[in-house]
Structure 1
């Protein structure tokens, strides 16, 4: 796996390079936005770790230019900016995730692996788990050859769990991903929708797709 780290703090950049190298990544680095664009357009990466406050071109502009060029590489933004408006701006420009400095290295690596895994599955337009097949283009779910009719929310929850299969996904994380910001909901809304999904799969003979992790959330084993 190949990662591009774009960070103008030379000490932090060197530390990140060492950490990712020790964890099996091939690492390229850039210390300004223009160099980042040059590398992005001349090499293929599995992940970009992108600071926002950069010389020559901001991380926001790097991200925007990459998306305008149809580059599908996952982008994780690192920044000292923790305002909600900054997070929204980064995500609107095409970033896939956002981590505020100072951050935990374990969390950075975990998020990085999740983004890489998610991108690999999404590229194929199909996610298969045992005899369950999710067509991410048509938004159709099948067990063997039989379609499972899901509502939009049910599909979005199932897809998010499937993309993160093998990982325990907390209820709050599902809410943040599936529901609009500020939407008022009752406390067990995720549990209710999970039950809806399970009932529909049970009718097709699948009763062990989604595992409950008591007190935390849910997981799909893959």
Structure 2
């Protein structure tokens, strides 16, 4: 699955340049042209990384970083800064940004920095925090519940990872079925198959599968992993 990147840039030409080149490098890119639009997207969509201009209408880039980190949102952020904005660059990094690129920039350098930040994020994600109630162990294809490693089948792991990568976002049965790759067209039979896989996964990660704490049913839509 392509990694989803949010471009927050009020200059349409720069935004389109970034979007085009990210798409050419096998990323899925969404755009926002002001800080308010960016915050709305960040609340409703899961992103692998944010490219963030600091000088934005409505809500500044620095304020976006501040709000995200205050909400414990750890999405990696690369800030886009002007040549003479050394102070803003330092402030952004101190607030929790992961890297910066100075305008004007070489697109090859920016793509390299995006990949480097995502690699670091992946390495950190594979370090299991046993104090967290629910984690994923990508090295061993397991779920980790209250520090205990849980064996999963191949399908259960793929389902759990998809839900985990989209935590707090409702996924439809059709989206889940397409991700698992078991269907060409969605049907009632596919829907029932997903419900069965969800039930198996609940049996493994929930203390009480009949009253799930993490893997929630969103009636009329699908399922959501909540943490």
Structure 2 length-normalised TM = 0.54
Q: Which residue of 2 aligns with 1:100?
A: 102
* 2:43 is the alignment partner of 1:41: yes
Q: After the TM superposition, list the runs of 4 or more consecutive aligned residues in structure 1 that deviate by more than 4 angstroms.
A: none
Alpha-carbon displacement from aligned partner over 1:59-115 (angstroms, at most 9, x marks no partner): 000111111111111100002153432221010111100111001111000000010
Q: Distance in 2 between matches of 1:9 and 1:108?
A: 17
Q: Say if 1:61 and 1:50 are closer, same or farther in 2 by CA, change over 3 A.
A: same
Provide the aligned C-alpha RMSD in A: 1.2
Q: Which residue of 2 aligns with 1:113?
A: 115
Matching residue within 20, 23, 36 for 1:21? 23
Q: Distance in 1 between matches of 2:53 and 2:110?
A: 13
SS in 1 for 2:31: strand
Q: Which residue of 1 aligns with 2:8?
A: 6
Q: Which runs of 5+ in 2 are unaligned?
A: 129-227
Q: Distance in 1 between matches of 2:121 and 2:65?
A: 16
Q: Distance in 2 between matches of 1:86 and 1:58?
A: 11
SS in 2 for 1:76: strand
Structure 1 length-normalised TM = 0.55
2:81–2:89 contact (8 Å) kept in structure 1: no
Alpha-carbon displacement from aligned partner over 1:138-168 (angstroms, at most 9, x marks no partner): xxxxxxxxxxxxxxxxxxxxxxxxxxxxxxx
Equivalence map 1:69-148=2 (5 Å): 69-125=71-127
Q: Which residue of 1 aligns with 2:148?
A: none
Q: Which runs of 5+ in 1 are unaligned?
A: 127-222
2:8–2:34 contact (8 Å) kept in structure 1: yes
